[in-house]
Chain A
Amino acid sequence: MTAAVVPMEYGLALAGILFVLGLVGVLVRRNIVFILLSIEIMLNAAGLAFVVAGSRWGQPDGQVMFIFILTMAAAEVAVGLALVLQLAQRFHTLDMDAASKMRG
């Protein structure tokens, strides 16, 4: 059994902190670029949790999941940046609250 250099709890706590940071960023920021950044942080927090758990159980699945998350994040960024461009062109701002036309 390999010696666990970093205890799992520490890793999970770090992932949790990163996730909450990201979530707060999404909820608080109005600039769409920062919102995308925050989502990226949340995704990586989730990925970190996978990797930590995978290393705790000595299984490669966690790292496989992280590669999936990376792929998905890349796709998400592609869509997200396209949205940023659209927002900038149509509303001449990066403020998300400007795009609230679909009110109930």
Chain B
Amino acid sequence: MLELLWLVPALPLGGFLALALIGGRLGRGAAALIGVGSSGASALLAFFVAGTFITSSRRVQVFRQTLWNWIDVDAFTPAMGLHLDALSLTMMLVVTFVGFLIHLYAWEFMEEEEGFSRFFAYTNLFVAAMLMLVLADNLLLLYLGWEGVGLCSYLLIGFWYQDAANGAAARKAFIVTRVGDTAMAIGLFLLFTQLGTLDIQELMQRATRQWPVGSSAAVAAAWLLLGGAVGKSAQLPLQTWLPDAMAGPTPVSALIHAATMVTAGVYLIARTHVLFELAPGVQLAVAVIGTATLLIAGCSALTQWDIKRVLAYSTISQIGYMFLALGVGAWSAAIFHFMTHAFFKALLFLGAGAIILTLHHEHNMFKMGGLWKQLPVTFWTFLIGSAALAALPLITSGFYSKELILLQAWNAPNGGAWLWAGGLLGALITSIYTFRMVFITFFGEAKQQAGKRPGTRIHAPLVILALLTMAGGFFGLPEFLHRALPPLPHGNESAVSELALETVAAISSVLGIFIAYLLFLRNREIVGQLTATEVGSALQRYWFSGWGFDWLYDRLLVRPFVVAARANKSDIVEQFYRIITDAARASYAALSATQTGQLRWYAKAIAAGAAVVVAIMVLL
């Protein structure tokens, strides 16, 4: 069964090829069958592969499959090779299974849209590229998948391309992540020139042999890879693209911009964790970036009115938690939170999509209200997802993963009270904005009548994801991950302290929900009074605009670039091309003057031409 691993990414790729080549001629049913079917088959196969891997290979921790040599130039021989261990297995299962549920959901969600088969072609290509990314055994193949998901993200954000704003959002996402990708590419060059291979496992071994802890090469490589991760995972300072990426269809936001692609940076760092252990300074930076991002994004989420933007900022914030976990060396905790986050955030996005669909593409939460009676399934599943996002104690998976991260933030050798306090404050903010969203959307008076109710293909993914959201904390994932990743670092705190930290985290979560209840359900005037004050309204505007990062980058980078481009418009290269166009214009004018339309003139030209040809033949 393990030998069929290559089919897992190949199936969605085949679906993409089929849809891209003949999708235009297929009906909607056939296109959906190929799109949903290929991703479903891939998920099923992934389950079988995972089952075989877990049950029959207690001793074999790794399965490698080399399909063919991709490039073979001297010492540079990256293969088309797949690497399956506990880490990539977890990623593969989440990507294929959540991907399949979202495909199923999109079948109904996109039913009325133009470009139905185009949508499934893109999403299939995305799943294939994402699987390539997580299964790759060398960094070059990983980079191929990395760029592939970036391309699909661009294509799908701009899916409704008739609206220019969507195109702008797509370009922004592409260009901002490109900054990180460039850093990552340079990191790859550095790793190859220094260590002479791109095979990840070999690379890690050579790195530990050749580089002492804190050596400049290790630090540089870790910084550059971190740059790539920060861009892809929308962390400080490259987080500005993700809120705008909500311009894409909602299933895309759930699949790419919540569950899978944006966590690729987390995967990259976990995969190359050896490098980060060799560069403790950079690892600390990862933790600091994560903490700062989770606080900044959490505050921004408090002030949004667009339900999808709330979720987008909350995604940035939750990935901040994963970075915090990576930064303190709790690699498995980060991947654990990745998995629970993939479940509950996909659930929340799909729930939001169901609301948006029934309310005729209404994104404004303040125009919703009172929906819990009209959309019961959506309400209950959304409530479960929100409880997990707010880390409601004991019954939700989000609590277990977030609590593990907070515990490690305090306990781990390179953690500390400050990181823990940041994470805890973030948890409080998280539960406030989450239940602000729930209370405003589902409670209060109904402001709009719901239109068409969502059907089975929307409800089924919601229910399945809700079940996973509740059960996801009990899989024992961290223990499983320790087959591939180092165990959780041990501090010197006692078990009492662990219980105390857990209690504090639980209290902060419940307290946040209570605050949200007070402010957004019981008495909304308090919020009005708060934002009416001068400081309050300034802060609200500041947070609403995402701490002004867009403004800053516009002034700092975009405008100077535009000015420089304008000033440099007629440089020497431009002159060269101008000569070409001028020559083409002049010869066009000269030749068109010869077209007099008079037959005798043409006859003369032919005679003269014949005379010239004869003369040339005679003379030469």
Which residues of A are at the interface with B, using a C-beta cutoff of 8 A? Answer: 23, 26-27, 30, 35, 96-97, 99-104
Contact = CB atoms under 8 A, between A and B. Distances in A.
B604 interface: yes
21 contacts: A27-B600, A27-B603, A27-B604, A27-B607, A30-B600, A96-B599, A97-B600, A99-B599, A100-B596, A100-B598, A100-B599, A102-B595, A102-B597, A103-B595, A103-B596, A103-B597, A104-B591, A104-B592, A104-B594, A104-B595, A104-B596
B593 interface: yes
A101 B596 CA distance: 8
A49 B3 CA distance: 80
Contacts of B596: 100, 103-104
B603 A26 contact: yes
Contacts of B598: 96-97, 100
A28 B592 CA distance: 24
Contacts, number: 34
Contacts of A26: 600, 603
Nearest to A38: B603
Given A96-B600, A104-B591, A104-B593, 17 more contacts: A27-B600, A27-B603, A27-B604, A27-B607, A96-B599, A97-B599, A97-B600, A99-B597, A99-B599, A100-B598, A102-B595, A102-B597, A103-B596, A103-B597, A104-B594, A104-B595, A104-B597
A50 B454 CA distance: 87
Interface of B: 591-600, 603-604, 607
Contacts of A99: 597, 599
- Closest 5 pairs (CB-CB, A-B): A104-B595, A100-B597, A103-B597, A104-B592, A102-B597
Nearest to B594: A104
A97 B599 CA distance: 7
B239 to A, nearest CB: 59
Contacts of A23: 607
Contacts of B597: 99-104
Contacts of A30: 600
A25 to B, nearest CB: 10
A35 B604 CA distance: 13
Contacts of B594: 104
A96 B597 CA distance: 10
A96 B592 CA distance: 21
A54 B162 CA distance: 72
Nearest to B596: A103
Nearest to B595: A104
Nearest to B604: A27
Contacts of A96: 598-600
A99 B603 CA distance: 14
A10 to B, nearest CB: 21
Nearest to A103: B597
A94 to B, nearest CB: 12
A52 to B, nearest CB: 19
A23 B611 CA distance: 12
A95 B595 CA distance: 19
A101 B595 CA distance: 10
A35 B597 CA distance: 16
Contacts of B604: 27
Nearest to B611: A23
A30 B600 CA distance: 8
Contacts of A104: 591-597
A55 to B, nearest CB: 24
A44 B604 CA distance: 20
A101 B593 CA distance: 14
Nearest to A24: B607
Contacts of B593: 104
Question: Which of A27, A102, A104 has the most chain B CB atoms inside 10 A of its CB?
Answer: A104
A103 to B, nearest CB: 4
A101 B599 CA distance: 11
A12 B603 CA distance: 23
A92 B604 CA distance: 25
B520 to A, nearest CB: 74
Nearest to A99: B599
B595 to A, nearest CB: 3
A1 to B, nearest CB: 30
Contacts of B600: 26-27, 30, 96-97
A49 B591 CA distance: 35
Nearest to B589: A104
Contacts of B591: 104
B375 to A, nearest CB: 69
A102 B595 CA distance: 8
Contacts of A101: 597
B87 to A, nearest CB: 70
A33 to B, nearest CB: 13
A48 to B, nearest CB: 18
Nearest to B603: A26
A54 to B, nearest CB: 21
A102 B596 CA distance: 7
A81 to B, nearest CB: 16
A57 to B, nearest CB: 21
A19 to B, nearest CB: 11
A103 B597 CA distance: 4
B602 to A, nearest CB: 10
B419 to A, nearest CB: 77
A31 B604 CA distance: 16
A104 B591 CA distance: 8
